[in-house]
Amino acid sequence: MEVFRISKDVFSNHLLSSGRANWWNQKGQQVIYCGSSRSLSSLECIVHKGSIEPSEIYKMMVISIADDDHLIRQIQLKELPANWRLFAAYGQLQKIGSEWYNKRESLLLKVPSVIIPYEYNFVINTEHPDFQEKVKLVRTESYFWDTRLL
C-alpha cells in the first residue's frame, strides 16, 4: 500500500519523527502521520499546521508499506467518543494512540480523518520491530501550494 506525507524539502529524504505530541500520540512517542491520499494529506497539513509558508519548498513523500493485514490496527468510529472530532477529545484520542504505541500491537494505526471521517490517516510506529523492513520511502515528488487553499 502507498501512503502520503507532505514535508518541507529539508525533511523529505528520510522517514523521521519529531516525537511531538499530536492527536494520536503523546510527547516522546516516535510516530509518523500519513494520509491515504495526496489530497487528504494536503487538507490535513493545512488544518494542522495552521499556516503554510508558501516560500518554503515542500515535497510529497510517497511511502510504501507491506500489504500484510496483521500490520494494521484500524480504529472504528464506534470505538471513539461521541465528541472525537472536537479538540475536547484530544486527550482521549492520545490515550488510545499511546496505548497502541506502547503495546506495539501493530506497525500502523489506521484512524478516521477528523476532516473527512470516511477517509483515513495512518500513524506509523517507527519503534515497531517491523518498521525497518516493512516501511520504505519510495520517492519524493515536487509539491506546490495552490494559493487558493491558503
Give me the count of residues in the chain: 150
DSSP 3-state assignment of 34? strand
With respect to residue 150, please indicate whether it lies within any of the assigned structural domains: no
Residue 110 counted as domain residue: yes
Each residue's pLDDT tens digit, 21-33? 999 999 999 999 9
Q: How far is CA 128 from CA 78, 116, 124, in A?
A: 26, 28, 9
Residue 100 lies in a domain: yes
Residue at 148 is within a domain: no
Q: Residue 48: its pLDDT value, please? A: 74
Residues of the chain with pLDDT under 70: 49-51, 150
Domain presence at residue 128: yes
The answer to whether position 23 is within a domain reads yes
Q: Which domain holds residue 121?
A: 2-143
The pLDDT value recorded for residue 51 is 64
Q: Within a domain: residue 149?
A: no
pTM assigned to the model? 0.93
Provide the domain count of the chain.
Answer: 1
**Among 104, 150, 110, 149, which Cα is nearest to 126's?**
104
